[in-house]
Amino acid sequence: MGKKTLEIYSVELNGTKDVEQTDKQDGKERYRGLKNCFHSKKDHHTEKLKKELDLDDHKLSIEELEKKYGTNIITGLSSTQAAELLAQNGPNALTPPKETPEIIKFLKQMVGGFSILLWIGAILCWIAYGIQYSMNKSSSLDDVYLGCVLALVVILTGIFAYYQEAKSTNIMSTFNKMIPQQAFVIRDSEKKTIPAEQLVVGDIVEIKGGDRVPADIRLLSAQGCKVDNSSLTGESEPQARSSEFTHDSLLETKNIAFYSTTCLEVSTSPVGTATGMVINTGDRTIIGQIASLASGVGNEKTPIAIEIEHFVHIVAGVAVSIGILFFIIAVSLKYQVLDAIIFLIGIIVANVPEGLLATVTVTLSLTAKRMAKKNCLVKNLEAVETLGSTSIICSDKTGTLTQNRMTVAHLWFDNQIFIADTSEDHSNQVFDQSSGTWASLSKIITLCNRAEFKPGQESVPIMKRIVVGDASETALLKFSEVILGDVMEIRKRNHKVAEIPFNSTNKFQLSIHKTDDPNDKRFLMVMKGAPERILEKCSTIMVNGQEQPLDKSTAEAFHTAYMELGGLGERVLGFCHLYLPADEFPETYTFDVDAMNFPTSNLCFVGLLSMIDPPRSTVPDAVTKCRSAGIKVIMVTGDHPITAKAIAKSVGIISANSETVEDIAKRLHIAVEQVNKRDAKAAVVTGAELKDMSPEQLDELLTNYSEIVFARTSPQQKLIIVEGCQRQNAVVAVTGDGVNDSPALKKADIGIAMGIAGSDAAKNAADMVLLDDNFASIVTGVEEGRLIFDNLKKTIAYTLTKNIAELCPFLIYIIVGLPLPIGTITILFIDLGTDIIPSIALAYEKAESDIMNRKPRHKKKDRLVNEQLAIYSYLHIGLIQAVGGFVVYFTVYAQEGFKPSILINLRVEWEDSNVNDLEDSYGQQWTWYQRKYLEWTGYTAFFVGIMVQQIADLIIRKTRRNSIFQQGLFRNKVIWVGIASQIIIALILSYGLGSITALNFTMLRPQYWFVAVPYAILIWVYDEVRKLFIRLYPGSWWEKNMYY
């Protein structure tokens, strides 16, 4: 690391970071990737993009620029020129991405999932009616109605899903909001205000402090101009801007201000504005290009979407194969084709859980709501579960892991390093404050500082107050305010008589004060700055309040401390002072900062103070939790490797006892190449190194190291890292806040943006927004995601079960020829009526065991619907339910006169409307309508039978492994709401609507409601036994086959 890097942290006193020096090497690489990406974009205007990026406008002189753009910096463009250019290049706005037309989105919902099957069912209905009609003009319209009902079901669920999807916002929608409304432009030698959209290349614009930059502009005159580029590059420091060309790269040079960044301040004299020439507008701006990069990244299918698709395939496969099988059976049993078609419809309707996808949506949105309460705002519903299956989190550093504000972390005085409290409120400062050195040091910190609190914030906690000043000075101000109390008061008492602000040439800041000691007439000169510069100016050092000559050993101690603090990734400042002798500098002495009529050498060195953007206090705990949940946390940052590593260490991304290859080399005093790479658990990789890696090497890196930090990465490299992780079959979460993060956020399986610090672009690209910017919220998200996955399993198992109970009647009907036990309409009333609320209620189920202690599920192995779940639901519980349903059905028929024996093969006569004297078991004769009515009673009975057993099914689905009694029968109150809803809906259908024949429900005798109860009990007991054996014999054949 050595000296070079130390400098980085020592010189940035006023935030006027000297980009030239520090970023010369890395800077190019940082954006190289970005450029590459534009090149590789298969867009037809790739060439154009490339050309734009190779612009050399920043290198040109003003005259050359004027020539190039046909403008004049005094008079500006003429209106006609501007109009021409506007027509030629289009408005200065980001084009929204090609949106799928709403109608296409809507139609997609109409044909997705089970919809196709249901459409087939509906069409078959109409075909069946067509056949009937062609044979008999007066055939009943039942099939038409059924077809319409099926179509209606599809359309309604489609509208529901469409509505849910429409709620999630589009990435570009607030990119547009970032466009400044008005721009101040010089045209026709006149200053005028025009909408920023109408800016064209060559326009001369003026910017004030606080404005958003209206386009990419080349600055022509700017004094003390600072811009906030954080949304673009991730640098949280304000960046100085001037009219000088300082760097070859367009992206690094100081004379370019970028579209949509904020101009923080422009020094008031002489004009208070910065003037610039527009060089790029709209999509050709840098931010426009990143935006198109982000929207060019395809949205990955969420894991839960894949799972649901898989599940739909299973169910559809079962439906289609049983449908075709029985179509063939029906035809070979000499049924008419018409009948066979009607059977097919029944089988499809019985097999498809019509309400399930809507239920899943509701379940997800319930969890989303719950997460929103915990400050995780989910934009894309399916992303709710994604966090649960996440196996790698790629986290941005600034603002996510850290507080995104400089804070005093360490102090060095009296030859000792003291630790300052860096927690969010600084409340616990424990270092020794009794030393005389501290008294002096604190005075320098307080006085040699230009930052001030904005007035009127007395009631606001110190750490939350708004400060005017740059990041380091703010940190020092707050630090001293916390420890010493009213800083402004202290400054007032120590009146400032002269001041030299920081500049990058002398690298120090100095001020001269009258002291608050009335007996001491001396002036106090205080100075802070780059430690080595400060030390150079000193001849003495203060130890325990006493001045001592600065000898070699103390200088050595200084260097050790400086290196150590620098090695922690902290920015170090040196502090010194000097009491000016009263005889030479009497009270009336006039200090002249330009003539420097006062000494600036042989000062007394007081101490060092180092600052860092400290980690949020909740982060280390959250990282540990992620670890124990089997989630790998990778840091991906644009920041320097040393800082990145230091933060990674302090939050546990690199754990205390793991070393990088470099660490090992240093410890063993051997060359890096000699170290056995397997010994290192951690790795710090810079963007420059990453650039040279092949995808295979990256894969190797990602698999071999469990703790990885990527530093100095570009937006494109972030994408590459995410893709690399995804190649490992990992589900990747990316957190970030800047515009530069947005492509990676989009690419990730789940992008998580910071709600407070995050840029709009990041929020738009993300699937989830952390409203409190708190990494710990992610842990909540993981927990909720895992819970929802488990609970969805339960919901699906619950829902699938009754499908067999609905299907069997059809199969028996076809083969044995019983009167139809349950009608299609009735089935729909189960699927979309009684079962809906209970299946949603399962979403409220608490976790069975500590879900945060198990590994994330394997994307390809741990399926939502696995073989065991399908078999157990279909062939075990489903069959019990079918048998139970049949018992109710037979009971109704037998007690009304048709004993089971007579029902066999009765179908043809039973359904013949011309047979109006069908004999029952007792010799009584039934008209067709009387039979039909009995058939509907049978439907109702079967329906009630299924409903009663679904109550038991609901209860057993509460757990998959534990006993219901371990889980608590009454802990989830919503389950009981669900059960109540089932019963109430069934009661209404039977007794309330029993007289509406179109619904095929009749009033059922009360006792029939209890016929299926023994089977409900059987289901419960059977499942308890299953779970008992699973718990008793883990890993056994039983568990392998019975645990879903």
Partner 1 sequence: MVIQKEKKSCGQVVEEWKEFVWNPRTHQFMGRTGTSWAFILLFYLVFYGFLTAMFTLTMWVMLQTVSDHTPKYQDRLATPGLMIRPKTENLDVIVNVSDTESWDQHVQKLNKFLEPQKNDVCRPGRYYEQPDNGVLNYPKRACQFNRTQLGDCSGIGDPTHYGYSTGQPCVFIKMNRVINFYAGANQSMNVTCVGKRDEDAENLGNFVMFPANGNIDLMYFPYYGKRFHVNYTQPLVAVKFLNVTPNVEVNVECRINAANIATDDERDKFAGRVAFKLRINKT
Q: Could you say whether residue 914 binds partner 1 (CB under 8 A)?
A: yes
Site string for partner 1, 358-377 (x = CB under 8 A): --------------------
Q: Could you say whether residue 1018 binds partner 1 (CB under 8 A)?
A: yes
What 3-state class would DSSP assign to 925? strand
By beta-carbon proximity to partner 1, the closer residue of 154 and 1018 is 1018
Task: Report the run of H or E that residue 621 belongs to, with start and end.
Answer: helix 619-628
Q: Could you say whether residue 130 binds partner 1 (CB under 8 A)?
A: no
Least distance (Å) from partner 1 to the CB of residue 338? 17
Phi-psi region of 77 (alpha: psi -120 to 50; beta: other; left: phi over 0): beta
What's the rounded Cα separation, in Å, for the pair 38 and 56? 17
Q: Which residues make beta-bridge pairs with 412?
A: 417, 608
By beta-carbon proximity to partner 1, the closer residue of 162 and 1029 is 1029
Beta-carbon-side half-sphere exposure of residue 91 (alpha carbons within 13 Å): 12
Please state, in angstroms and as integers, the Cα–Cα distance from residue 432 to each residue in 416, 439, 483, 532, 733, following that order. 10, 11, 12, 25, 43
Length of the chain: 1044
Tokens of 558: 């200084």
Least distance (Å) from partner 1 to the CB of residue 885? 11
Residue from 101, 923, 1006, 1035 in contact with partner 1 (CB under 8 A): 923
By beta-carbon proximity to partner 1, the closer residue of 5 and 726 is 726
Residue from 880, 975, 979, 1030 in contact with partner 1 (CB under 8 A): 880
Tokens of 98: 């090609």
By beta-carbon proximity to partner 1, the closer residue of 300 and 737 is 300
What 3-state class would DSSP assign to 227? strand
Q: Could you say whether residue 916 binds partner 1 (CB under 8 A)?
A: yes
Beta-carbon-side half-sphere exposure of residue 1 (alpha carbons within 13 Å): 22
Residue from 25, 927, 963, 995 in contact with partner 1 (CB under 8 A): 927
| 252 secondary structure, DSSP code | T
Q: Could you say whether residue 441 binds partner 1 (CB under 8 A)?
A: no
What's the rounded Cα separation, in Å, for the pair 783 and 293? 32
Buried b / exposed e across 195-209, counting CB within 10 Å, b at 16+? ebbbbbbbbbbbbeb
Least distance (Å) from partner 1 to the CB of residue 330? 22
Among the residue ranges 42-50, 91-99, 737-745, 920-928, the one whose residues contact partner 1 (CB under 8 A)? 920-928
Helix (H) and strand (E) counts in the chain: 39, 30
Q: Could you say whether residue 1041 binds partner 1 (CB under 8 A)?
A: yes
Tokens of 909: 């006569």
Task: Give the contacts of 703 (CB within 8 A, at least 6 positions apart).
Answer: 728
Which backbone phi and psi does 1018 adopt, to 5 degrees?
Answer: -55, -45
For the purposes of burial, counting CB atoms within 10 Å of the CB of 703, is it exposed (0-12), middle (13-18) or buried (19 or more)?
exposed
Residue from 163, 997, 1025, 1034 in contact with partner 1 (CB under 8 A): 997
* Look-up of token digits 């699937």: 767
Least distance (Å) from partner 1 to the CB of residue 342? 20
Q: Could you say whether residue 859 binds partner 1 (CB under 8 A)?
A: no
Q: Could you say whether residue 727 binds partner 1 (CB under 8 A)?
A: yes
Least distance (Å) from partner 1 to the CB of residue 902? 11
Residue from 925, 963, 966, 995 in contact with partner 1 (CB under 8 A): 925
Among the residue ranges 105-113, 475-483, 752-760, 1008-1016, the one whose residues contact partner 1 (CB under 8 A)? 1008-1016
Closest CA to 82 of 214, 197, 230: 197
Task: Report the run of H or E that residue 263 belongs to, with start and end.
Answer: strand 262-265
Q: Could you say whether residue 317 binds partner 1 (CB under 8 A)?
A: no
Q: Indicate if 396 belongs to the active site.
A: yes
Residue from 558, 775, 810, 886 in contact with partner 1 (CB under 8 A): 886
Among the residue ranges 380-388, 589-597, 825-833, 922-930, the one whose residues contact partner 1 (CB under 8 A)? 922-930
What's the rounded Cα separation, in Å, for the pair 953 and 684? 52
Q: Could you say whether residue 876 binds partner 1 (CB under 8 A)?
A: yes
Cβ neighbours around 983 below 10 Å, total: 16
Residue from 968, 1005, 1025, 1032 in contact with partner 1 (CB under 8 A): 1005
Q: Could you say whether residue 697 binds partner 1 (CB under 8 A)?
A: no
**Contact present, 876 and 1027 (Cβ < 8 Å):** no
Using alpha carbons only, what angle is made at residue 690 by residues 684 and 694, rounded to the nearest 5 degrees? 130
What's the rounded Cα separation, in Å, for the pair 487 and 391? 48
By beta-carbon proximity to partner 1, the closer residue of 344 and 882 is 882
Q: Could you say whether residue 760 binds partner 1 (CB under 8 A)?
A: no
By beta-carbon proximity to partner 1, the closer residue of 157 and 891 is 891
Q: Could you say whether residue 921 binds partner 1 (CB under 8 A)?
A: yes
Residue from 131, 847, 887, 974 in contact with partner 1 (CB under 8 A): 887
Considering Cα of 112, then 118, then 121, then 123, what sign does the dihedral take?
negative
Q: Could you say whether residue 909 binds partner 1 (CB under 8 A)?
A: no
Residue from 538, 1011, 1016, 1019 in contact with partner 1 (CB under 8 A): 1011
**Contact present, 856 and 989 (Cβ < 8 Å):** no
For the purposes of burial, counting CB atoms within 10 Å of the CB of 692, is it exposed (0-12), middle (13-18) or buried (19 or more)?
exposed
Least distance (Å) from partner 1 to the CB of residue 488? 55
Q: Could you say whether residue 930 binds partner 1 (CB under 8 A)?
A: yes
Q: Could you say whether residue 924 binds partner 1 (CB under 8 A)?
A: yes
What's the rounded Cα separation, in Å, for the pair 950 and 947? 5
Q: Could you say whether residue 934 binds partner 1 (CB under 8 A)?
A: yes
Closest CA to 739 of 757, 724, 722: 757
Closest CA to 889 of 989, 805, 765: 805
Least distance (Å) from partner 1 to the CB of residue 889? 11
Residue from 163, 929, 1010, 1033 in contact with partner 1 (CB under 8 A): 929
Residue from 160, 928, 991, 1020 in contact with partner 1 (CB under 8 A): 928
Site string for partner 1, 889-908 (x = CB under 8 A): -xx--xxxx-xx--------
By beta-carbon proximity to partner 1, the closer residue of 457 and 913 is 913
Please state, in angstroms and as integers, the Cα–Cα distance from residue 66 to each residue in 69, 114, 255, 276, 888, following that order. 5, 63, 16, 12, 91
Q: Could you say whether residue 302 binds partner 1 (CB under 8 A)?
A: no
Least distance (Å) from partner 1 to the CB of residue 32? 16
**Contact present, 813 and 929 (Cβ < 8 Å):** no
Question: Residue type for 388, please?
Answer: G
By beta-carbon proximity to partner 1, the closer residue of 692 and 917 is 917
Least distance (Å) from partner 1 to the CB of residue 921? 8
Q: Could you say whether residue 872 binds partner 1 (CB under 8 A)?
A: no
Least distance (Å) from partner 1 to the CB of residue 987? 19
Determine the distance from the C-alpha atom of residue 737 to the mean position of all C-alpha atoms in its chain, rounded to a whole number.
10
What's the rounded Cα separation, in Å, for the pair 90 and 92? 7
Interface with partner 1: number of residues (CB under 8 A): 47
Pick the catalytic residue from 143, 283, 396, 835.
396
Among the residue ranges 386-394, 448-456, 878-886, 972-980, the one whose residues contact partner 1 (CB under 8 A)? 878-886
Tokens of 954: 């609901």
By beta-carbon proximity to partner 1, the closer residue of 550 and 1018 is 1018
Among the residue ranges 520-528, 553-561, 880-888, 941-949, the one whose residues contact partner 1 (CB under 8 A)? 880-888
Buried b / exposed e across 466-499, counting CB within 10 Å, b at 16+? ebebbbbbbbbbbbbbbbbeebeebbeebeebbb
Q: Which residues in this chain contact partner 1 in the complex, by CB under 8 A?
A: 695, 720, 723, 726-727, 875-876, 879-880, 883, 886-887, 890-891, 894-897, 899-900, 914, 916-917, 919-931, 933-934, 937, 997, 1005, 1011, 1014-1015, 1018, 1037, 1041
Active site residues: 396
